[in-house]
């Protein structure tokens, strides 16, 4: 019984979700699979909960004991009276009719017949069996009513939780589409289960990206780091062409194309039909008909047939050079708390999402005086990224461990020719000379270094010279200042406009 009710409730939840969030579930296989799995787990958990919280378990055990006792008559009037009391208690708890007056009469009748042993035993046995059956009916009714009410409540609670979660996903999907990001990447629930709190945090960052024009412009700039270099090559290709041609269709009767001999009465010429007007010439008509020599209109139609043929041709093909990996350093020190940290994490989320969309490896470093790292790789789950970005140190600022670790990562084969983006307010001490030399050395190996200053102050000249491109973003005014190639200007070298 409860399994049938649970299956029906689960189907009801699934149907409601499919109806309310049809677009989301139709466009996201992972979301649809997630809903199906959540419903399955809810059904299992609800079955266990119904079993554990059944409020009539005591009366069920009492009934079981009474059924066992019924198998070994005779039953004394005292035993029957005790069983009746337990049955009446069940009915009152379950708010069911207890028929107490009837059972009092039964007990009185059994007691009154004590002078005749056989009659007393017979009456007691009949009353015991009747009580057993009525007790079972009452327990079944109590169980059904309780399970129906309990399952309805559990279904309602679960549906509310699921609707809140799917509503967040739907809003997030719309925001991601507005940002030009693939929702399927961010909302891939097969790589982990988002909690409602993580979705809400994700939504807050996405909302910040969508509604702040300065951050949008900033992300547009950062999204163009190391733009694709297009190359052209010549290749032979089999090109398939299609051509529609018209062919005669002898089975169609669309137009007259001539005269033929035959016996098709519907197409016989009028001059032949005139032979039927005279009995003497009608014999000639019959003879022509038998020999299929009647003059008939020859008719046919036209059918259009598509013919395919292939031809080898030479053509030019543009192909894109593979974009390199990304290393993102996010400052979560105390000086970044509040809006600067929100901007930094929103931008990091956007860049990491772009890297995932472009199938670029991505390495994230969260730093203050210490560091936390997350290698997002080629097939990371967005759940891990959101949890990582949710961490904050709120201590002092020391970029040296983060840059030192990033340089080590960039020397590995997986992050060869990687782009590094440091997001910070750059309220920190100067970097040591050996670290600056390592950065310059990595630059010769094809690595590029970018910085985003979140705040209303510019970096010192010493820090500025470390990066190929710098952006300064003021979160209060949403103004962006782009500072390009300071070191090259100082050295008299031409600017690199690859970004």
In a domain, 300, yes or no: yes
Name the burial class of residue 399, with classes exposed (0-12), middle (13-18) and buried (19+) by CB atoms within 10 angstroms of its CB. buried
Q: Specify whether 284 is located in the same domain as 416.
A: no
Which two three-digit tokens encode residue 53? Answer: 């919280």
Q: What is the mean pLDDT of residues 424-432?
A: 78
- In whole angstroms, give the CA distance from residue 10 to residue 3: 10
Q: What is the mean pLDDT of residues 68-86?
A: 81
Provide the pLDDT for residue 324: 75
In a domain, 120, yes or no: yes
Q: Specify whether 256 is located in the same domain as 359.
A: no
pTM: 0.53
> With pLDDT > 90 as the criterion, what percentage of the chain qualifies?
8
Q: Specify whether 392 is located in the same domain as 253.
A: no
Provide the pLDDT for residue 465: 57
Q: Specify whether 455 is located in the same domain as 428.
A: yes
In a domain, 197, yes or no: no
- What is the helix (H) or strand (E) element at residue 310, kind and residue range? strand 294-320
> With pLDDT > 70 as the criterion, what percentage of the chain qualifies?
74
| Residue 463 pLDDT grade (very low, low, confident, very high; cuts 50, 70, 90) | low
Nearest 5°: the CA angle 123, 124, 129 is: 100
Q: Note whether 195 and 38 are within 8 A (CB).
A: no
Q: What is the strand order of the sheet 294-320 is part of?
A: 230-249, 294-320, 255-262
The string of pLDDT tens digits covering residues 450-462 is: 888 887 655 444 4
Provide the pLDDT for residue 59: 82
- In whole angstroms, give the CA distance from residue 358 to residue 225: 12
- In whole angstroms, give the CA distance from residue 455 to residue 470: 13
Q: What is the mean pLDDT of residues 81-85?
A: 84
- In whole angstroms, give the CA distance from residue 422 to residue 449: 8
pLDDT exceeds 50 at position 230 = no
Residue 301: which domain range? 231-317
- In whole angstroms, give the CA distance from residue 89 to residue 282: 107
Name the burial class of residue 381, with classes exposed (0-12), middle (13-18) and buried (19+) by CB atoms within 10 angstroms of its CB. middle
Candidates 140, 162, 193, 127; CA nearest to 43 is 162
Provide the pLDDT for residue 436: 86
pLDDT exceeds 90 at position 288 = yes
The string of pLDDT tens digits covering residues 266-278 is: 889 999 999 999 8
Q: Specify whether 86 is located in the same domain as 129.
A: yes
Q: Specify whether 332 is located in the same domain as 467.
A: yes
Least confident stretch, 113-127, 209-223, 282-296: 113-127
Residues 6+ apart with CB under 8 A from 8: none
Per the structure, how many domains does the chain have? 3
User: Distance between terminal CA atoms of the chain?
Assistant: 66
The string of pLDDT tens digits covering residues 296-354 is: 999 888 888 888 777 777 665 554 445 678 898 988 888 888 878 878 877 787 777 77
In a domain, 498, yes or no: no
- In whole angstroms, give the CA distance from residue 71 to residue 89: 23
- Domain-terminating residue out of 263, 294, 317: 317
Placement of tokens 């598509």 in the chain: 306
- Domain-terminating residue out of 317, 338, 373: 317
Q: Specify whether 75 is located in the same domain as 133.
A: yes
Least confident stretch, 17-21, 170-174, 396-400: 170-174
- In whole angstroms, give the CA distance from residue 240 to residue 409: 48
Q: Specify whether 250 is located in the same domain as 273.
A: yes
Nearest 5°: the CA angle 464, 333, 482 is: 30
Q: Note whether 329 and 400 are within 8 A (CB).
A: no
| Residue 499 pLDDT grade (very low, low, confident, very high; cuts 50, 70, 90) | very low
| Residue 408 pLDDT grade (very low, low, confident, very high; cuts 50, 70, 90) | very high
In a domain, 267, yes or no: yes
């Amino acid at each position: 019984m409860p399994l049938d009710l649970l299956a029906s409730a689960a189907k009801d939840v699934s149907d409601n979700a499919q109806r309310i969030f049809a677009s989301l579930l139709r466009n996201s296989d992972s979301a649809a699979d997630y809903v199906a799995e959540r419903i399955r787990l809810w059904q299992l958990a609800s079955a266990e909960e119904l079993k554990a919280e059944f409020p009539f378990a005591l009366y069920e055990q009492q009934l079981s004991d009474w059924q066992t006792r019924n198998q070994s008559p005779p039953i004394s009037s005292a035993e029957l009276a005790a069983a009746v009391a337990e049955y009446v208690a069940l009915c009152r708890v379950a708010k069911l009719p207890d028929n107490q007056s009837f059972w009092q009469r039964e007990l009185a009748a059994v007691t009154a017949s004590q002078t005749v042993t056989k009659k007393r035993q017979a009456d007691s046995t009949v009353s015991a069996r009747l009580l057993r059956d009525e007790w079972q009916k009452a327990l079944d009714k109590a169980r059904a009513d309780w399970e129906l009410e309990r399952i309805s409540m559990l279904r309602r609670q679960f549906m509310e939780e699921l609707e809140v979660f799917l509503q967040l996903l739907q809003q997030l999907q719309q925001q991601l589409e507005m940002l030009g990001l693939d929702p399927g990447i961010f909302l891939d629930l097969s790589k982990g289960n988002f909690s409602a709190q993580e979705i809400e945090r994700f939504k807050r960052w996405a909302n910040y990206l969508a509604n702040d024009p300065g951050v949008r412009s900033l992300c547009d700039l950062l999204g163009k780091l190391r733009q694709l270099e297009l190359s052209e090559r010549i290749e032979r290709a089999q090109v398939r062409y299609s051509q529609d041609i018209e062919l005669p269709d002898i089975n169609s009767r669309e137009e007259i194309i001539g005269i033929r001999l035959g016996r098709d009465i519907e197409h016989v010429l009028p001059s032949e039909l005139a032979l039927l007007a005279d009995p003497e010439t009608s014999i000639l008509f019959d003879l022509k008909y038998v020999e299929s020599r009647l003059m008939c209109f020859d008719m046919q139609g036209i059918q259009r047939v598509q013919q395919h043929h292939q031809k080898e041709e030479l053509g030019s093909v543009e192909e894109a050079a593979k974009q390199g990996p990304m290393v993102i350093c996010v400052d979560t020190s105390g000086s970044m708390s509040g809006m600067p940290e929100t901007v930094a994490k929103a931008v990091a989320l956007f860049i990491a999402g772009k890297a995932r969309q472009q199938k670029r490896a991505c390495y994230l470093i969260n730093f203050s005086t210490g560091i936390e790292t997350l290698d997002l790789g080629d097939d990371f789950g967005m759940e891990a990224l959101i949890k990582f970005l949710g961490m904050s140190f709120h201590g002092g600022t020391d970029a040296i461990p983060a840059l030192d670790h990033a340089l080590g990562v960039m020397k590995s084969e997986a992050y060869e020719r990687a782009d590094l983006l440091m997001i910070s307010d750059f309220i920190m001490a100067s970097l040591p000379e050996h670290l600056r030399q390592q950065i310059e050395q990595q630059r010769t190996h094809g690595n590029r270094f970018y910085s985003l200053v979140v705040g209303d102050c510019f970096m010192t000249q010493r820090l500025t010279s470390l990066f190929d491109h710098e952006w300064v973003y003021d979160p209060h005014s949403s103004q962006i200042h782009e500072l390009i190639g300071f070191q090259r200007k100082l050295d008299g070298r031409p600017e690199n406009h690859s970004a």
